[in-house]
Amino acid sequence: MALLNTREINIKFKFMICMFLLVIIPVSAQANVRTVYVNDKNMENIYLNMGKSTILRFNEKPKKVVIGNQNYFQVEFIDSDITIQPQGIVSTNLFAYCENNTYGFILNAHASGRYDDLINVRWKPETSYVLGQKLREPEKSINDKVINRPLDLDGILVNLEKISFDEKRKLHILDIILENIKQKDLHAKNIKINLTRGGKPIKKYFFISEKEILKSKEKSKLRLFIKLENKTAFKLEFCLNDKKVHTIIDKSDL
């Protein structure tokens, strides 16, 4: 009877060992994958280990990188990926120059410990916006003001059509039509919008563009949502690369 109990104990022990291995093996083999949102001003930490490569995966193709201490890192380009392998235990910065944006990172190399296998890199805009979303017609209001004010932004026609007011959310809504009359495609995210009043920025706003990319001769609706503390005039500026154009939204427009 004692021998039978010993066998039962051994079977139970082996079963527990098997279950333990089944639990820890998938965890230990799991890749360290993250998604980060960065730009050239908001830099993200990247964790590297000696003897291991880390991949930075972009939505656009990188052209070149600039590393603060390039002697201690091996860098390769593969399509939209940048692979980094540390050659020494050191920290430095890295800037990746892509087709449309520049991304900044802090590289932290260690002998062991925390590290990243794969980093999905996304652009963090300075202005909040959503691209590629269908716009619904807002509810009609007696406060709707038709403007029809066209502006020429270096071959991009920006036509301010209408201003309305959302009573529920207390937001002013500006409907805009973008038309690309240039010969090359336009990425909507490259258009920067600045709102100022008395030389001070208005920070509570965001916009939605129906199209992410405007091909030559194409149009797209853009809707700007603004949270105003009071109904006084402000300056609305559109920027594309080094070109700027602006208009004044008067109190009578609000």
pLDDT tens per residue across span 61-90:
999 999 998 899 999 999 999 999 999 999
**Cβ atoms within 10 A of the Cβ of 108, count?**
19
Calculate mean pLDDT across residues 193-199. 87
Predicted confidence at residue 23, as pLDDT, reads: 47
Predicted confidence at residue 101, as pLDDT, reads: 80
Q: CB neighbours of 78 closer than 8 A, spacing ≥ 6?
A: none
Q: Which of 9-18, 48-57, 165-174 has the lowest mean pLDDT?
A: 9-18
Whole-prediction pTM: 0.51
Calculate mean pLDDT across residues 209-223. 89
pLDDT at 54 over 90: yes
Calculate mean pLDDT across residues 178-188. 88
Taking a C-beta distance cutoff of 8 angstroms, is the pair 203, 127 a contact? no
Q: CB neighbours of 185 closer than 8 A, spacing ≥ 6?
A: 213, 214, 215, 216
Which CATH topology does 33-123 take? Immunoglobulin-like (2.60.40)
Q: Which superfamily, per CATH, for 129-253?
A: Immunoglobulins (2.60.40.10)
pLDDT at 21 over 50: no
* Closest listed residue to residue 247, CA positions, set 158, 180, 154: 158
Average pLDDT, the chain: 82
In one letter, which amino acid is 56? L
pLDDT at 143 over 50: yes
Predicted confidence at residue 180, as pLDDT, reads: 93
Predicted confidence at residue 64, as pLDDT, reads: 93
Give CA–CA dist 75/108, Å, rounded: 15
The sheet with strand 219-226 has its strands ordered as 129-131, 205-209, 219-226, 171-180, 156-166, 145-153
Predicted confidence at residue 31, as pLDDT, reads: 67
Residue count of the chain, please give it. Answer: 254
Copy the structure tokens of residue 80.
Answer: 């939209």
Q: Which of 16-30, 66-80, 159-173 has the lowest mean pLDDT?
A: 16-30
Phi, psi of 25 (to 5 degrees): -65, -50
Predicted confidence at residue 12, as pLDDT, reads: 59
Coil, strand or helix at 20: helix
Q: Is 199 left (phi over 0), alpha (psi -120 to 50) or beta?
A: left
Predicted confidence at residue 127, as pLDDT, reads: 59
Do 33-123 and 129-253 come out as alike in CATH topology?
yes
Q: Which of 7-21, 23-37, 225-239 has the lowest mean pLDDT?
A: 7-21
pLDDT band, very low/low/confident/very high, at 3 (cuts 50, 70, 90): very low
Predicted confidence at residue 97, as pLDDT, reads: 92
pLDDT at 241 over 70: yes
Calculate mean pLDDT across residues 161-183. 88
Delimit the domains of the chain by residue range. 33-123, 129-253
Predicted confidence at residue 147, as pLDDT, reads: 85
State how beta strands 62-67 and 73-78 pair: unpaired
Give CA–CA dist 111/214, Å, rounded: 47
